[in-house]
Amino acid sequence: MPEPLNLAALPVRRLNTGEAIPPLGLGTFGSDKYGPREIADAVEGAIRYGYRLIDCAAVYQNEAEIGQALRRVLDEGVVSRRELFITSKVWNDSHGPGQVLASCRKSLADLQLDYLDLFFVHWPFPNYHPPGCSVDSRSPDAKPFSPAAYLEVWRQCEALVDMGLVRHLGMSNMTIPKLEAVLPHCRIQPAALELECHPSFQQPELFDYAVAHHILPVGFCPIGSPSRPERDRTAADVADTELPEIREIAEAHGVHPAVICLKWAVQRGVVPIPFSVKPPQYQSNLRCAAVDPLTDAEMERIRQADKNCRLVKGQVFLWPGASGWEDLWDEHGTATWAQP
């Protein structure tokens, strides 16, 4: 067992409430590859090593096992609850009246917690698909984005803060037009925005927009999700860990290319949430935020390596009549929804 990391060496990020959040967290979506038990063991091992931020979600179907791991480290006094920063997310099938509270209560019960540090609206659509379904699968009930419907979900989230069940709120898989439509109507502004973010998909405009609105960018698939299932791959996808810029910088630092993706994210001001169940991987992932930073020239070289290559396209959330996955991301011209 390696020595736990010296946490004082890690940079601290601040949310718009002034509260601290760790600069890097552990993802918990095992996709088809890793089961709940393995992921819960990784959560426990990661916390013993020094992780404090764990990114959970109801739809990952492993919160009950993660809750047992959290209970063990809390009961043993490895950490106190206040030292941990635990997120969860309401899934698309629970946007209706009363369902957000029910979802939050279920996540809290499964995770064996009294409150969540951050609660995300996982996707801005109420469009449900069964986990693991084909990318060609379409729901006849699927709907395009509606600011009014989203704000009804957000009002339910705001009530969770009022009730003390949740400390901060977050949005996920949003675009600038969608944020523009809803932010002026939010009583409680989001503290964080979860967005896909890796060297070949940097989303500079969305990143800048979030920072300008005091919303912390939390980066998912920070290594380019190299273990995602075949069904989620297309011929045009770029592998971040194969980019020559990333490989050469990794060689210069004597680390795996995955680690360079994470260093770049942390230094840019994104909070990456890499997934791994392998102790040497998840340990090096957190450690890299504390040691041997990239130079300004290396940061600039990676900035120029952007390929605008979105990996999580979200096809299964498309509604009848949509022309392609780009519609989910408002890429076909001006968004045409009614204002709330």
Give the nearest distance from C-beta 80 to ligand NAP in angstroms. Answer: 23
Supply angle C-alpha 327, 328, 329, rounded to 5: 90
Residue 221 binding ligand NAP, by CB under 6 A: yes
Q: Give the Cα separation of 188 and 237 in Å (integer).
A: 37
User: In this complex, which beta carbon is closest to ligand NAP, that of residue 156 or of residue 285?
Assistant: 285
Residue 256 binding ligand NAP, by CB under 6 A: yes
The set of residues, in sequence order, having a beta carbon less than 8 Å from that of 107 and lying 6+ positions away, is 56, 58, 63, 88, 116
Q: Give the Cα separation of 43 and 104 in Å (integer).
A: 20
Per CB under 6 A, the list member of 47, 258, 266, 271 interacting with ligand NAP is: 258
Pick the catalytic residue from 49, 51, 60, 150. 60
Q: Are strands 20-21 and 13-14 parallel, antiparallel or unpaired?
A: antiparallel
Stretch that binds ligand NAP, among 61-69, 92-100, 140-148, 226-234 (CB under 6 A): 226-234
For residues 90 and 100, the answer to whether their CB atoms sit within 8 Å is yes
Give catalytic status of residue 60 as yes or no. Answer: yes
Positions in 9-48 near ligand NAP (CB under 6 A): 27-29
Per CB under 6 A, the list member of 21, 46, 50, 55 interacting with ligand NAP is: 55
User: In this complex, which beta carbon is closest to ligand NAP, that of residue 144 or of residue 224?
Assistant: 224
Residue 220 binding ligand NAP, by CB under 6 A: yes
Residue 226 binding ligand NAP, by CB under 6 A: yes
For residues 261 and 223, the answer to whether their CB atoms sit within 8 Å is yes
The response to whether 95 counts as a known ligand-binding position is no
DSSP-assigned states of every residue in 83-117: G-EEEEEE-GGG-STTHHHHHHHHHHHHHT-S-BS
Spatial strand order in the sheet of 216-220: 26-27, 53-55, 85-90, 118-121, 169-172, 192-196, 216-220, 271-272
User: In this complex, which beta carbon is closest to ligand NAP, that of residue 98 or of residue 260?
Assistant: 260
Residue 274 binding ligand NAP, by CB under 6 A: yes
Token code pair at residue 250: 């990794």
Give the nearest distance from C-beta 339 to ligand NAP in angstroms. Answer: 26
Give CA 116 to chain center in angstroms.
15
Helix residue ranges, H only, 163-256 = 176-182, 204-212, 244-253
Residues in the interface with ligand NAP (CB under 6 A) total 29
User: In this complex, which beta carbon is closest to ligand NAP, that of residue 201 or of residue 209?
Assistant: 201
The set of residues, in sequence order, having a beta carbon less than 8 Å from that of 233 and lying 6+ positions away, is none
Residue 227 binding ligand NAP, by CB under 6 A: yes
Binding flags for ligand NAP, 296-335, as an x/- string (CB under 6 A): ----------------x-----------------------
Per CB under 6 A, the list member of 278, 320, 331, 332 interacting with ligand NAP is: 278
3-class secondary-structure state, position 268: helix
User: In this complex, which beta carbon is closest to ligand NAP, that of residue 50 or of residue 224?
Assistant: 224
Binding site for ligand NAP (CB under 6 A): 27-29, 55, 122, 172-173, 194, 220-228, 256, 258-259, 273-276, 278, 281, 284-285, 312
Point out the annotated binding site for substrate.
122
Q: Which residues are catalytic?
A: 60
Point out the annotated binding site.
122
